[in-house]
Structure 1
Amino acid sequence: MGVRKKISADQRKEAKKSLYFAKLNDVPTSPRKMRLVADMIRGMEVNKALSVLKFSSKEASNRLEKLLRSAIANWEQKTEQKADDAELYVSAIYVDSATMLKRLQTAPQGRAYRVRKRSNHVTLFVDTKNTNDNDNQN
């Protein structure tokens, strides 16, 4: 690896240390269905978001609830504080499309229909209200 690439890689690693996130890759639901649930909790306080996900009837909400708990645990491990003490909220959530399984389904008169089984990647960022206020003042 060249020196220039190593320097930029080190800078990216340092920037990631201050971010608290969890990723969920290759979820076998369509990105559109996952985005509906992600939009419900974007910008919400963590405890409120957990209760919204718990009582949601959508199938994707179970996976997002588990992902949010993982992001909270990551925050607790990095900061060595309890999540109950801090005012955590979902700062950002991204749903990107992943690989698509393409299959053929037989149709009448010798034709075939293409079946696309979609999947997605979800990235969820958690942050405290206090750190953002301090950053804006500086």
Structure 2
Amino acid sequence: MEAVAKLRNYPTSPRRMRLLADEIRGVEVEKALALLEHHPQHSATPLYKLLKSAINNWEQKNEGKSAADAALVVKTIFVDGARTLKRMLPAPQGRAYRLRKRSNHVTIIVDTKTVKA
């Protein structure tokens, strides 16, 4: 039984967040947590918290089971673009440059590892 956790409107560009998401896709949960905990990129912290939330959601759905015994895997993770704040930046000769402050939505789906027979 899978569990979902979502992070909405996080103020980092989707491209930067996808770099981390690609690293933990398909990886066991314990290994992904260790990777995110020690990753230098600043967007690793909200992904770490989001993964912990997905694990807790899975434990609540499956009463009595712990995530450590179940061999959970990050089944799906995807990053979508969210709202973009448009600002103006002063430029030479009275002009202005457009500054786009991007944000993103992240969705994580955690499930038990399926064994192929």
TM-score, length of structure 1 as denominator length: 0.81
CA distance in 1, matches of 2:7, 2:71: 24
Q: Residue type of the partner of 1:98?
A: A
Instruction: Structure 2 unaligned segments of length 5 or more: list them.
Output: none
Q: 3-state SS of the aligned residue for 1:100?
A: strand
Q: 1:124 aligns with which of 108, 113, 116?
A: 108
Q: Does 1:106 align with 2:106?
A: no
* Shift of residue 32, structure 1, vs aligned partner: 0.5
Q: Does 1:23 align with 2:6?
A: yes
CA distance in 2, matches of 1:102, 1:55: 33
Q: Identity over aligned residues, as a percent? A: 58
Q: Residue type of the partner of 1:82?
A: S
CA distance in 1, matches of 2:71, 2:81: 31
Greater relative CO (CA pairs within 8 A, separation 6+): 2
Q: Residue type of the partner of 2:76?
A: A
Q: Does 1:67 align with 2:15?
A: no
Show CA shifts across 1:101-135 (max 9, x none): 00001111111000000000000000001xx34xx
RMSD: 1.2
Instruction: Structure 1 unaligned segments of length 5 or more: list them.
Output: 1-17
TM-score, length of structure 2 as denominator length: 0.95
More strand by share: 2
Larger Rg: 1
Corresponding pairs, count: 116
